[in-house]
Amino acid sequence: MPRVDGDHHVHSTFSDDAVSTLAENLDAARRVGLREIRMVDHVRVSTTYVPEMLAAVRALPPVDGLVVLTGVEAKILHVSGAIDAPPQVLASLGRPDGPDRVLLADHQVPGTDGPWSPSTTTRLLAEGRVTPADVIELVVTGTARAVERAGRAQLAHPFSILPKVGLTQDDVPDALLDDLARVLVATGTPVEVNEKWQCPGPRVRERWRAAGVTLVASTDAHRAGDVGVYRWVGAQP
């Protein structure tokens, strides 16, 4: 398992669905003794707040022994790997004026004509217009292409979309896991072991770890009280 003295996915009030400020999250990280925290907030192509958020992170007081990293979380929109983030933000990844990484999220299936919601995907499956194997291949292919397109990504809660459409991680063939692992290793892309979504599971983790993929712990916290608190992750082998 990844070390649990870091939390690589923490949201603040710059995200509409979070309730804690950057300062509250920082204080929570200090109190639980984290060594690393990644401050992350949701973006879309139309988002404009990222410079303000990054400036606010940089203005936080330093905490001895704690490294503060930054990121933005964006959906994978299409099997081509299109990412729902402002182009200028993606272009600035890793630069002094940009976030460290983009967290790529599979909140929807990256379809052939745009993102498919869970309800749309379930309907297409029920109608026989796509098969479970088709859906899994879209998720894996879209993810791999988004990782390559971003260059500096972090894979957020991988395969969390599958249970929402009646599938599981066990439905993903070893060959597709290995294909994605090669892209992750080649691009130096870390993968979250995510407390909120409880993924990826043991089979995926073990296969990716053996392939050399870097695994990092994250809570996906939306309030300070959850920062660095690992129940599921901490119990994993």
**Are 145 and 81 contacting, i.e. CB atoms less than 8 angstroms apart?**
yes
Give me the mean pLDDT over the 148-163 stretch.
98
84 lies in a domain?
Answer: yes
Lowest mean pLDDT among 22-26, 107-111, 232-236: 232-236
Give me the mean pLDDT over the 100-127 stretch.
98
Among residues of the chain, what percentage have pLDDT more than 70? 100
211 lies in a domain?
Answer: yes
219 lies in a domain?
Answer: yes
- Per-residue pLDDT, 63: 97
**Are 236 and 3 contacting, i.e. CB atoms less than 8 angstroms apart?**
no
On whether the pTM is more than 0.85, the answer is yes
What is the number of domains present in the chain? 1
Q: How far is CA 54 from CA 29, 59, 67, 97, 209, in A?
A: 18, 9, 15, 8, 31
- The band of 179, judged by pLDDT with boundaries at 50, 70 and 90, is very high
Question: Rounded distance, CA 94 to CA 216, Å?
Answer: 18
Two structure tokens written together for 231: 């129940």
Phi, psi for 13 (deg, rounded to 5): -70, -5
237 lies in a domain?
Answer: no
1 lies in a domain?
Answer: no
How high is the mean pLDDT of the chain?
A: 97
194 lies in a domain?
Answer: yes
Which one-letter DSSP state was computed for residue 121?
A: H
34 lies in a domain?
Answer: yes
Domain that holds residue 55: 6-232
The secondary structure of 44-76 as a DSSP string is: -TT---HHHHHHHHHTSPP-TT-EEEEEEEEEB
CATH number of the domain where residue 179 is located: 3.20.20.140
